[in-house]
Amino acid sequence: MVDHTTVLIAGAGPAGLVLANLLRAEGVDTLVVERATREQVQTRARAGYLAPNSARVLAEHGLGAGLLHKGQTHGVCAFRGEDGEFELDYSRLGRGGAHTVYPQQDLVTDLVAEYLGRGGDIRFGVTVTGVDPRTATIRYRGERGGEDVVTGRFLAGCDGGHGATRKAVPARRYRQDHGVSWLAVLVEAPQSMAAVTYAVHDDGFAGHMARSPEVTRYYLQVPPGDDPRDWTDDRIWAALGTRLRIDDFGRLKQGPVLERRLVRLRSEVADPIQHDRLFLAGDAASLISPSAAKGANLAIMEAEVLARALVQALRGDERPLAAYSRTCLPRVWRAQEFSRWMIDLLHPPADDFHRALRRARLDGLRECRAHQNAFAENYVGI
């Protein structure tokens, strides 16, 4: 069976679903293929910090109903260390702006429902067996077996860092393994602090991030290669207590651990992120460490840029589409630079010299308005 569409999209994550919805709103025929089941894409717990620009994109295009109804606004973060704790109200610094906390699985659920309600087509549970950028074609096997073919005028690769489309783009790939691993922990307990909290400690980094009134995300730096199953609930809470310095700042609200998984802090950027009729967005275009909550926000930014360029191309002007890589990559690199800055700030230094540098950075954030403004603009911006 061979199907035809105008824009074929691989991947039903934030990048692919935002792109699909924006194109459907412009009357463009689209088809999405996704290797996971619908249940899997709607229950994958991922980052939930949306920057002001991401919230704007969703709201302007009728995709923000759930976000506006259930999202929580967060504009303050805190840093804890041997010199105590200080808070930054980053929503009032720089150009201003706060994050909206909305779990990614809830956002994806909203986007799937909206896209299907707009007449879109998603084929879940497929395995891509071939990608041809010249003809915007994907070959895939469905759940029933047998190979199907879908072609489009354009192909958007939004199928993640391990997807098939990124391999079809002959690009230079910049890679960095930061040598750091986090244990990402989701607990059934209300947040213990009002602010997002970053704790620097000689034992390793610990982080506290709200997710919902009933669920909180914690991060613990662990040795690379650790097995998450070796981290029992008691061991997790003991390490969090030490690094978040509960003797100084009060006990944590505890609850059962719902999820624990290892996150290796790595970065990768492809240049260019387009080839023939294929255009990459989201993790297929670049991977970024979670140290600064940029992944989903980059995906939404790229989806908006690509949607506009595709619409203009379909109307006869392909210049914005030809410039897609040049438009997006400078923002990707600025996000990568800030992510690397956060990695250097949060994790134990290798020696006394770098330990003194980290203290100087924290002192700058604590005391210098210019440093605070620069942090705020990078923290919420792309």
Residue 253 catalytic?
no
Q: What is the CA radius of gyration of the chain?
A: 21
321 and 194 both lie in a single domain: no
30 and 138 both lie in a single domain: yes
Banded model confidence at residue 143, pLDDT cuts 50, 70, 90: confident
Neighbours of 256 (CB within 10 A): 9
Residue 140 catalytic?
no
Whether 81 maps to a domain, the answer reads: no
What mean pLDDT is reported for the chain?
94
As a whole number of angstroms, the distance between CA 316 and CA 313 comes to 5
217 and 315 both lie in a single domain: no
64 and 197 both lie in a single domain: no
Whether 116 maps to a domain, the answer reads: yes
Q: Which residues pair with 222 in a beta bridge?
A: 181
Residue 103 catalytic?
no
Identify the active-site residue in 52, 115, 290, 324: 290
- For residue 29, give both structure tokens: 């025929």
Identify the active-site residue in 74, 99, 201, 275: 74
Provide the residue range defining the domain that includes 113: 2-72+99-174+267-340
- For residue 342, give both structure tokens: 């956060």
Strand positions, DSSP E, 211-307: 216-222, 257-271, 274-275, 278-280, 286-287
Least confident of 145-154, 176-185, 248-257, 276-285: 145-154
pLDDT at 282: 97
Residue 354 catalytic?
no
Inform me whether the pLDDT recorded for 304 exceeds 90.
Answer: yes
pLDDT digits (tens, 9 = 90+) for 28-84: 999 999 999 999 999 887 778 899 999 999 999 999 999 988 998 999 999 999 999
Number of domains in the chain: 2
Q: Where residue 26 sits, what CATH number does that domain have?
A: 3.50.50.60
Q: How far is CA 32 from CA 57, 180, 253, in A?
A: 20, 34, 41
Whether 82 maps to a domain, the answer reads: no
**176-209 burial code (b ≥16 CB/10 A, e <16):** bebebbbbbbbbebebbbebbbbbbbeebbbbbb
Whether 90 maps to a domain, the answer reads: no
320 and 196 both lie in a single domain: no
Whether 186 maps to a domain, the answer reads: yes
Banded model confidence at residue 142, pLDDT cuts 50, 70, 90: confident
Neighbours of 135 (CB within 10 A): 15
51 and 135 both lie in a single domain: yes
As a whole number of angstroms, the distance between CA 222 and CA 207 comes to 12
187 and 241 both lie in a single domain: yes
Inform me whether the pLDDT recorded for 382 exceeds 80.
Answer: no
As a whole number of angstroms, the distance between CA 297 and CA 267 comes to 15
φ, ψ of residue 298 to 5 degrees: the values are -65, -40
pLDDT digits (tens, 9 = 90+) for 202-256: 999 999 997 778 889 999 999 998 999 999 999 999 999 999 999 999 999 999 9
Neighbours of 29 (CB within 10 A): 16
Q: Which of 139, 136, 166, 138 is nearest to 153 (CA)?
A: 136
Residue 379 catalytic?
yes
Whether 145 maps to a domain, the answer reads: yes
290 and 322 both lie in a single domain: yes
Whether 8 maps to a domain, the answer reads: yes
Identify the active-site residue in 102, 115, 140, 198: 198
106 and 28 both lie in a single domain: yes
Q: Which residues neighbour 253 within 8 Å (Cβ) at sequence distance 6 or greater?
A: 189, 190, 191, 192, 216
165 and 186 both lie in a single domain: no
As a whole number of angstroms, the distance between CA 191 and CA 195 comes to 9
Question: CA 128, 61, 311: angle at the middle one, nearest 5?
Answer: 60
- For residue 196, give both structure tokens: 């997002």
Q: What is the mean pLDDT of residues 318-325?
A: 98
Whether 121 maps to a domain, the answer reads: yes
Identify the active-site residue in 49, 102, 219, 379: 379
Identify the active-site residue in 49, 294, 324, 347: 294
67 and 143 both lie in a single domain: yes
Banded model confidence at residue 350, pLDDT cuts 50, 70, 90: confident
pLDDT at 9: 98
What is the residue type of 218?
A: Y
